[in-house]
C-alpha cells in the first residue's frame, strides 16, 4: 500500500505531467490530488515544503512514509515504480531522456514567456519575450520535422511532456495558434490529447 498526496494546480504543466503519469501507470486510486493555492499565504504546499511549488508529492503510507518530493521529474520517477503499463521512469534509455530534457527546455520557455506577458505594464520585458518567442518558433519547427520520431512509440515521459507543452502553448500564448503552420505535429498532438489521462487533466 503506497498512499500518496499530489499537490497541483489545474493549469500547471509540470504538475500535469505527474498527474498524467499517475493515470498512465494506473496508480491514481492511490493518489489524493490537492489543488494548491500557490503564490498565496494559504498555499497548502507550504505545510510540507518550503519551496511552495507544484507538483509536490507526499508519501502517506508504506515503506517511504513521510517522504516529500518536489520537481516533476523526481515525482514521475517515484510514481513509475508502481502500477503497470509502459515504463515512465527517469531510468529510460538515453534517447528518451534526451527528449524529456528537450521538452523541459521548451516548456520552461513557454512558462517564462507566458508569465512575463501577464505582468503589469512596466514590468514586462519585450526583449526577453521576443527571445523566448524565437526559441519556441525554432522548437515548433524542429518538432514538426521530428514527428516520425515522436510517433515511433505510443507513449513515454518525453512524449507526455512534449504534448503537455504544446497544450500549454495554446493556453498561455494567446493569439498564436501553432497548429495551422505545423500540421503533422498538430495531428500527433491531437492523438495524445485524446488519451484518457490527458482528457482527465486538461487545463482548458
Ligand X SMILES: N[C@@H](CCC(=O)N[C@@H](CS)C(=O)NCC(=O)O)C(=O)O
Stretch of 50-58, 81-89, 139-147, 190-198 lying at the interface with ligand X (CB under 6 A): 50-58
φ/ψ of residue 85, rounded to 5: 95, 180
CA 204-105-160 angle, to 5 degrees, is 50
Nearer to ligand X, 10 or 183 (CB): 10
Name which of 3 and 49 has its Cβ closer to ligand X: 49
Nearer to ligand X among residue 53 and residue 189 (C-beta): 53
How many degrees, rounded to 5, is the angle at CA 56 between CA 188 and CA 173? 40
Q: How many residues bind ligand X (CB under 6 A)?
A: 10
Q: Which H or E element spans position 82?
A: none
- From the list 52-60, 81-89, 156-164, 190-198, the region that binds ligand X by CB under 6 A is 52-60
Cell of 46: 507550504
Tell me if 144 contacts ligand X by CB under 6 A: no
Q: Of 44, 60, 64, 71, which one interacts with ligand X (CB under 6 A)? A: 71
| Conformation bin of residue 195: beta by default, left when phi > 0, alpha when psi is -120 to 50 | beta
Asked if 19 contacts 72 with a C-beta cutoff of 8 angstroms, the reply is: no
- Nearest Cα neighbor of 153 from 91, 72, 88, 199 is 88
Choosing from 54, 69, 103, 143, the residue that interacts with ligand X (CB under 6 A) is: 54
Taking CB under 6 A as the rule, does residue 114 contact ligand X? no
Pick the binder of ligand X from 4, 6, 14, 78 (CB under 6 A): 14
- Does the protein bind ligand X through residue 109 (CB under 6 A)? no
Q: What residues line the site for ligand X (CB under 6 A)? A: 12, 14, 38-39, 52-55, 71-72
Amino acid at each position: 500500500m503506497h498512499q500518496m498526496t499530489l499537490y497541483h494546480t489545474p493549469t500547471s504543466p509540470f504538475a500535469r505531467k505527474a498527474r498524467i503519469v499517475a493515470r498512465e501507470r494506473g496508480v491514481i486510486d492511490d493518489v489524493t490530488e490537492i489543488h494548491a493555492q500557490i503564490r498565496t499565504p494559504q498555499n497548502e504546499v507550504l505545510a510540507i515544503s518550503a519551496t511552495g511549488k507544484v507538483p509536490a508529492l507526499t508519501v502517506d503510507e508504506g515503506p517511504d512514509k513521510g517522504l516529500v518530493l518536489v520537481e516533476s521529474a523526481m515525482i514521475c520517477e517515484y510514481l513509475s515504480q508502481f502500477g503497470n503499463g509502459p515504463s515512465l521512469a527517469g531510468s529510460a534509455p538515453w534517447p528518451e531522456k534526451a527528449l524529456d530534457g528537450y521538452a523541459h527546455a521548451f516548456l520552461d520557455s513557454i512558462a517564462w514567456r507566458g508569465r512575463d506577458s501577464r505582468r503589469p505594464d512596466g514590468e514586462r520585458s519585450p526583449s526577453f519575450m521576443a527571445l523566448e518567442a524565437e526559441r519556441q518558433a525554432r522548437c515548433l519547427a524542429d518538432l514538426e520535422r521530428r514527428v516520425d520520431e515522436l510517433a515511433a512509440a505510443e507513449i513515454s515521459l518525453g512524449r507526455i511532456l512534449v504534448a503537455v507543452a504544446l497544450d500549454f502553448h495554446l493556453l498561455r500564448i494567446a493569439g498564436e495558434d501553432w497548429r495551422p503552420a505545423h500540421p503533422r505535429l498538430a495531428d500527433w498532438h491531437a492523438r495524445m490529447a485524446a488519451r484518457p489521462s490527458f482528457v482527465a487533466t486538461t487545463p482548458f
